[in-house]
Amino acid sequence: MTVSGTHTIKNEYNGECLTEPSSPGMLRTRPCAQAGLADWWDISKVTSLWEPDSLKIRGHQNGRCVSLSTNWPPKCSADQADSSGWDVERQNDGSYRIVAVQRDNHSRQLCLTLRSDNAAISTECASLTGTGNWNAEQRRRQSWTIGS
C-alpha cells in the first residue's frame, strides 16, 4: 500500500499529531487542531540507488526531513536515504509503524516512538511477537495513523 502524498501523522498513544519544530530540534506531538500547517508531512519515495523502496517524510511547512537524529538535517535532498529513509509498515489494526532504514551502531532496527514528554524519537523497534520489553503501551507509542 502506498502512503505517498501529503498527510497528517497521528500517534495512537496520545491521539496527537506529529509536528515540525519551528527550528531544527525535536519532533513533538500536539493536538492536531492546534498544529495547523506544521502537522502536514510530504511522504515520497527516496530516489537513492541505495534504498530505492524507502520513504522520506518531509515537513510541508519547512521542508526538513524526519531524521534518526533529534536534530533535523538543514534540508531534505532527493537521495537522502541514510538517516532520513523510512519504511512505513502497516499493522494488523490498520495503523503504521515508521521504521528507520538505517540501523543504529548496535545493528538494531529503530522505530519512530513517542516519549512520555511528547517528543518523538527513534528508539529500538520491539518485536511484534511480544519478546523483550514490548508491550501494549510500547506498541501504541510506535503506532501512527497516516491521515489525509
CATH number of residue 107's parent domain: 2.80.10.50
- Which pLDDT value is given to residue 102? 83
What whole-number distance in Å separates Cα of residue 7 and Cα of residue 3? Answer: 8
The pLDDT of residue 129 is above 70? no
Q: Which among 67, 48, 47 has a CA at the least distance from the CA of 58?
A: 67
The mean per-residue pLDDT over the stretch 40-54 comes to: 80
Domain count, the chain: 1
- Which pLDDT value is given to residue 1? 46
Question: For the whole model, what pTM was predicted?
Answer: 0.86
- Which pLDDT value is given to residue 88? 92
Q: What angle do CA 55, 60, 63 make, to 5 degrees?
A: 75
The mean per-residue pLDDT over the stretch 89-104 comes to: 88
| Residue 64: pLDDT band with limits 50, 70, 90 | confident
Domain span at 26: 5-146
Q: Which among 94, 93, 102 has a CA at the least distance from the CA of 125?
A: 102
Mean pLDDT, all residues of the chain: 82
